[in-house]
């Protein structure tokens, strides 16, 4: 896929990948051998009819391909950009056994962009109304996909969102240069056109509880509040000025447009010509460090305690980060943040690690090398080692079953919780995962909620 030049793009927030042309898309689609039993579909958590939409692309029927895609996925421009296809549909592609797999994600993106840019996003026609009302808590990919399916089944759907913008991590976490916000907004608008009602600035647990939603007319509730509570390193100096969580840093930059301060009134540490260290090796860490480079950091480091083989981030994001000049300090673990007399971060003490036997995650365990500590001067640190579940729902709905990390326990096949009429899915159930897994959970829940509503009536 054509891309913006790394030297140019590391100082702007425009999209890195530029998308297929019509010609490239057709050529790529013709590489699909149309297997009689397409294994790629097994790899897609929302079951997109991949072979069928690709056949339509090969024929040049791009709008037909968009319609086929939207039978199973109402957010294709988003998925085409951020889904880890290399671990899902593409890893199962038969062509990939001997050659590069068919670029399913890039074709998905092409088809969605083609429709949006030529005729605008068209929405399917709706069934007659059932008179049942469903409340969805959270407007991330799990909530949105559940809303899209339920509204098409004829139910009334209201999505309650705590923030002032819709989209969850798609809006406040993933940066503009990977997923333009205008595209997220247009795909969400297509749900509004279908009749989904959205209510922002509604923190369920504070404005209304789940029980109050059930008492106030809703026949079922789907909880999709994600995993938005950042983990910290718990090392000395973590409360110094200049130390952020990725959540705070990304929210300030992506949602509050901190990079346009004072035009937008939420600032972030000015890292121009400064040294920035991001601790972690996932997609969140890559997004954070690449943003710091775009904000002018002189040196932007990823500091990760294992090797690059164990890094959880998508290979494409690691590749793009390296191209943009991010420095990877691997097998290294922070021991302490050190500040000046005014409480501002000045450096970090790092310990070198080596890899031992695999741990319960299957990845080789990092083991500290005694006496290997050294000091790295840094001006800003961002902790990006994962997120847990936000406790508001647990505190206000204690009669649901939770595990010890606060994730809601559900029946895996139906996403039913222990409480009648209440379902849950996405990161609040699995812990931090992926967009498409959250969407898959939303779809599964929608089917189960539909069955539940029918059985109740």
Binding site for ligand FAD (CB under 6 A): 82-84, 137-143, 160-163, 168-169, 173-174, 202-205, 224-226, 228, 250, 283-284, 287, 314, 390, 392-393, 426-427, 432-436, 438
Q: Whole-number minimum distance, CB 344 to ligand FAD, in Å? A: 26
Residue 58 or residue 171: which is nearer to ligand FAD going by CB? 171
Using alpha carbons only, give the angle 54, 56, 58 rounded to the nearest 5 degrees.
70
Residue 29 or residue 422: which is nearer to ligand FAD going by CB? 422
SS3 57: helix
Query: What CA–CA distance (Å, rounded) separates 455 from 457?
Result: 6
Residue 151 or residue 438: which is nearer to ligand FAD going by CB? 438
Residue 182 or residue 457: which is nearer to ligand FAD going by CB? 182
Strands 380-383 and 133-137: unpaired
Residue 158 or residue 283: which is nearer to ligand FAD going by CB? 283
Residues in the chain: 457
Which residue, among 66, 73, 194, 219, has the nearest Cα to 127 in the 3D structure? 194
Q: Whole-number minimum distance, CB 15 to ligand FAD, in Å? A: 13
* Residue 98: burial class (beta carbons within 10 Å; 0-12, 13-18, 19+): exposed
Query: What CA–CA distance (Å, rounded) separates 383 from 231?
Result: 8
Q: Whole-number minimum distance, CB 108 to ligand FAD, in Å? A: 13
Measured N-to-C along each axis, helices 50-58 and 62-70 cross at an angle, to the nearest 10 degrees, of 170
Q: Whole-number minimum distance, CB 224 to ligand FAD, in Å? A: 5
Which residue, among 423, 370, 384, 367, has the nearest Cα to 400 in the 3D structure? 423
Residue 378 or residue 435: which is nearer to ligand FAD going by CB? 435
Q: Whole-number minimum distance, CB 46 to ligand FAD, in Å? A: 12
Q: Whole-number minimum distance, CB 356 to ligand FAD, in Å? A: 28
Query: What CA–CA distance (Å, rounded) separates 58 from 29?
Result: 5
């Amino acid at each position: 896929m054509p891309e913006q030049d790394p030297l140019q793009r590391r100082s702007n927030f425009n999209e890195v990948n530029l998308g297929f042309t019509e010609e490239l898309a057709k050529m790529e689609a013709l590489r699909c051998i149309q297997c009689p039993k397409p294994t790629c579909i097994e790899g897609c958590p929302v079951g997109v009819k991949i072979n069928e939409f690709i056949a339509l692309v090969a024929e040049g029927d791009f709008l037909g391909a968009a319609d086929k895609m939207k039978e199973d996925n109402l957010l294709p421009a988003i998925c085409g950009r951020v889904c880890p296809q290399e671990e899902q549909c593409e890893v199962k592609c038969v062509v990939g056994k001997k050659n590069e797999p068919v670029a399913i994600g890039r074709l998905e993106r092409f088809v969605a962009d083609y429709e949006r840019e030529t005729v605008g996003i068209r929405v399917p026609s709706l069934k007659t109304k059932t008179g049942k009302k469903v409340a969805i808590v959270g407007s991330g990919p799990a909530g949105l996909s559940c809303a899209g399916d339920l509204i098409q089944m004829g139910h009334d759907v209201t999505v309650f969102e705590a923030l002032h913008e819709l989209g969850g991590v798609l809006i406040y976490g993933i940066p503009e240069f990977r997923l333009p916000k205008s595209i997220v907004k247009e795909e969400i608008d297509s749900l509004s056109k279908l009749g989904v009602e959205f209510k922002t600035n509604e923190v369920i647990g504070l404005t209304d509880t789940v029980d109050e939603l059930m008492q106030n007319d809703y026949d079922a509730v789907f909880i999709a509040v994600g995993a938005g509570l950042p983990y910290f390193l718990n090392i000395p100096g973590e409360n110094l000025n200049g130390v952020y969580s990725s959540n705070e840093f990304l929210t300030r930059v992506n949602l509050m447009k901190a990079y346009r301060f004072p035009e937008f009134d939420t600032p972030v540490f000015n890292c121009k010509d400064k040294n920035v260290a991001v601790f972690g090796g996932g997609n969140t860490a890559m997004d954070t460090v690449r943003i710091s480079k775009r904000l002018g950091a002189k040196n932007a480091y990823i500091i990760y305690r294992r090797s690059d083989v164990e890094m959880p981030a998508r290979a494409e994001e690691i590749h793009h980060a390296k191209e943009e000049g991010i420095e990877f300090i691997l097998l290294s673990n922070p021991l302490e943040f050190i500040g000046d007399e005014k409480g501002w971060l000045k450096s970090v003490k790092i310990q070198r690690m080596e890899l031992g036997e695999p741990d319960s995650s299957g990845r080789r365990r990092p083991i500290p090398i005694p006496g290997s500590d050294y000091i790295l001067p840094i001006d800003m640190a961002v902790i990006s080692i994962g997120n847990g579940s936000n406790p508001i729902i647990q505190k206000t709905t204690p009669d649901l079953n939770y595990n010890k990390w606060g994730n809601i326990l559900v029946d895996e096949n139906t996403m039913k919780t222990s409480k009648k009429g209440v379902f849950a899915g996405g990161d609040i159930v699995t812990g931090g995962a992926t967009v498409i897994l959250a969407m898959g959970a939303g779809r599964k829940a929608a089917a189960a909620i539909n069955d539940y509503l029918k059985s109740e009536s």
